[in-house]
Structure formats: structure tokens, C-alpha cells
Amino acid sequence: MAELNFTDSKIMEKINELSKIAEQSTIIDSSYYEKYDVKRGLRDLNGLGIVAGLTEISEIQGNKEPMEGELYYRGINIKDLVNGFTKEDRFGFEETVYLLLFGNLPNKEELDYFNQILADFRKLPLNFVRDVIMKRPSFDMMNTLAKSVLTLYSYDDNPDDISISNILRQGLQLIAQFPLLTIYGYQVFSHYHNDKSLIIHKPRKDLSTAENILLLLRQDKEYTKLEAKLLDICLVLHAEHGGGNNSTFTTHVVSSSGTDTYSSVAASLGALKGPKHGGANIKVVRMFEDMKNNLKTYSDLEIRNYLLQLLNKEAFDKSGLIYGMGHAVYSLSDPRAVIFKKFVKNLAVEKGLDREYELYEKVERLAPEVIAEKRRIYKGVSPNVDFYSGFVYTMLGLPQELYTPIFAVARIGGWIAHRIEEIANRGKIIRPGYTSVCPRQKYIPLEKR
């Protein structure tokens, strides 16, 4: 048989025809979900998640009834955690990762030692940038990150050992390496695809994760204290969000099979890459860019009219959504968004973006009103964490290609904590049931088809 050329238009035309057959062959009558009492997306009719496991790592408090949202890391309210280290004028991401991994906040000696471990692990194997990251750079940084993670398996002398000590060792290395894999991957992408200068800085052992991200990214290595502190808060707020979010549940599912740490993390990266999960804040930023291009003034009336156009599928991507508003669990407030807002204004003032911040505030106030007028609301609508995080990343000068990878830099600590939890509890392989609704049919010999 001759080799197929997939750039041939006739071949692609045939593939398109086959794709329609494949799609039609698997469309399920939506009424069957109610008939067989199947919870689509593991969520009930009220939008609440179906309990699939137990965890001690984090807790989300929301309800179908309107209530202020709460988030706890190992039983500690996220608001108290952030207030604690900000009042002491410290970076908090590293102690947050310690808390997620070990169940308690570290004392000064423990934190110093933990920071030293991360600092020592904050390096890549010899020539890894040249031999892996610089070879065939991807257009998507999440794929670059996943490729790097899977390749690190080959550099590990003991990759398949799933003892807790080995998983912790691997996890700590990945937590420390993720900023390097992310920023170096972007610098290579920017060089080869955008014709920019190739900048590879070395991290500093005496700096926090947030500070090193900004140092590695910027050509002059310069950043302000406020920039680093706000990025640190971003990392803390994204570090964990209950065992049921898509990428963390992926960690549990894949880890339950007994696979290696690198495969587990790569699978979670694949889940996080999806625009319904990790890419949401990019949609918010692009929506606001479109909004600014279409508003003559920032009056309440003009903003309200634009929001109505969004809901009516007449503006932006015509999806009918106001991105950054609403959450599957939270109703009256997303605690992460509440915390964000306290710090965002200060950075906006520093950057001279007061007017843009005022636009975000107005949309935050007007969007719930507009949504309530157009749609039936069961539990309230409020800004979620993505509403402000994209604005923060924009003010920090982070390219949009890095928004989701930075999310991964934050979330890797939570993933490792959940992987340890899954392995330590020796659970069964996660294998949910699916009800077949396909009618029986007889096999027909080839010559009679």
C-alpha cells in the first residue's frame, strides 16, 4: 500500500467525511442521562460535584444556596494564610507547598531547610535546555512543559519506584524545576517563532519562586517588590483547589493505576491545558481587550450594553458568556478573587492603570445584575479567580503564552500532595462505570455488507 500524504486535499476530504460518520455514530440522546440517572461531568442537577473520594489536603465551601465561599488548605482558611505571611512581609508560596505536602505550617527552621532543598533542586540536568527544550519547540507552552516532564523520566535513576520517599523526592525536584522548564520553554519559543533574542538566565538560590520567575523572564532581571509579592500571592491562590478539580482528579485517577510520577504530572498538565480549566483567564483578558476596543466611554450604560451583547452572543467570541463571572461551586464570592482584589489595586496604581482597574470594578458590579436580568440564577454570580488573575499577569508583563504554565507552576505542589495521598492510602484503581446504550447488532460477513 502506498504511503498516505496527509497534506493531499483529497485525503483530507475523505478524513473529514469519516469524521462526520465517527461523530454521528457516538452521539448519545441527552434524555438518556436522566433516564439512567447518570451525572454528566460527575455533577448533579444542582451543579454540585458527586463525591468520588476523601481528602485531607484542601476543602472548598460553597453551596447551591447563596453563601460566601471559603477555601481551606489543610484546614487553614486561605484568607488567614495570606494575611499571615503578608503581614510579616514574607513570600508565602514555599510555606504553602510545605503545608500541602506535610499537613502543618513549618516553623522557621523547617521553612529554611525546605527552601534550601528547593533551591538545591532548582536546576536542570546538564545540557537539558539544549538537548530537549531547544529541539523542535512547540507553539504551546503546556505541551513544551509536558514534553520536558516526560523526558525528565529518562534522567531519573529510579523513575518507577512509587514509594512515598521517592515520590516526594521526585515531586520536590519538579516543584523546583517547573519555573525553569516554563520560562526557558517560553524563551526558546519566543526566539524561534517570534524572532526575539534568546535569553537564558540562571536562577538564584537566595530568591523565592516568584522572584525567580520574574528574574528568568525579564532581560534585565529587574522587578519591583510589589510585583514579586503579587505574583507570589497568585501562586498561593492557585496552588490547590480541592481534590475534585479536573487536573487534580486526573492526578488521583492516573496515580491509582500505579504509574510513575512523571506520567502522572504530564497527564495533569494535559487536563490543565484545556480552556475550560487552566486557560480561562486568557479568555477574560481577551474579552476585556475587545470591550475596551468597543467602548467609547466607561460609563455604566455603555458597559451594561456591552455585557448584554455578550450574553446575547453578539460580542467577542459570541459564546454567550461573560468570562470570569460565576463558578461551579462558589456563589456569592470566590475567596481567591476577594483576596486578589485587595492587592490588585496597588499594582494598578504602581503601573498607572487606575482607569483599567476601575473598568474591572464596574464589570464586577454590573455583570451580576445583567446576568440576573437575562437568566435564572440559582445561587448567585460573582467574580471567580480568573477575573483578576489575567489582569495581574498582564500588569506583570507576562505573555499570554505563560498564563496557564504559571498556573501549573503553582498547582504542581497540590498535585504532588494528592499523588502522595492516593498512593499512601492504597486505594483501588479508579474505574467508574459507564452504562452502554448501544443496541445489539449481529456480525455481518464482509462479502455480505
Task: List, in order, residues 6 or more apart from 344 with CB less than 8 Å away.
Answer: 230, 357, 360, 388, 391, 392
Parallel/antiparallel/unpaired status of strands 76-77 and 70-73: antiparallel
Compute how many other C-beta atoms are within 10 angstroms of the C-beta atom of residue 365: 12
Backbone φ/ψ region at 245: left (φ over 0), alpha (ψ -120 to 50), beta: beta
SS3 per residue for the chain: CCCCCCCCHHHHHHHHHHHHHHHHCCCCCCHHHHHCCCCHHHECCCCCECCCCCCCCEEEECCCCCCECEEEECCEEHHHHHHHHHHCCCCCHHHHHHHHHHCCCCCHHHHHHHHHHHHHHCCCCCCHHHHHHCCCCCCCHHHHHHHHHHHHHHHCCCCCCCCHHHHHHHHHHHHHHHHHHHHHHHHHHHHHHHCCCCCCCCCCCCCCHHHHHHHHHCCCCCCCHHHHHHHHHHHHHHCCCCCCCHHHHHHHHHHCCCCCHHHHHHHHHHHHHCCCCCCHHHHHHHHHHHHHHHCCCCCHHHHHHHHHHHHCCCCCCCCCCCCCECCCCCCCECHHHHHHHHHHHHHHHHCCCHHHHHHHHHHHHHHHHHHHHHCCCCCCCCECHHHHHHHHHHHCCCCHHHHHHHHHHHHHHHHHHHHHHHHHCCCCCCCCCCCCCCCCCCCCCHHHC
Q: Give me 275's grid cell.
A: 480552556
- Is 191 one of the annotated active-site residues of the chain? no
Q: Does residue 197 contact residue 191 with C-beta atoms inside 8 Å?
A: yes
Burial class (CB in 10 A: 0-12, 13-18, 19+), 7: exposed
Catalytic residue of the set 232, 260, 334, 386:
386
Active site residue 327: yes
Task: Exactly one of 238, 241, 252, 327 is catalytic; name it.
Answer: 327
Give the position of cell 524561534: 192
Catalytic residues: 327, 386
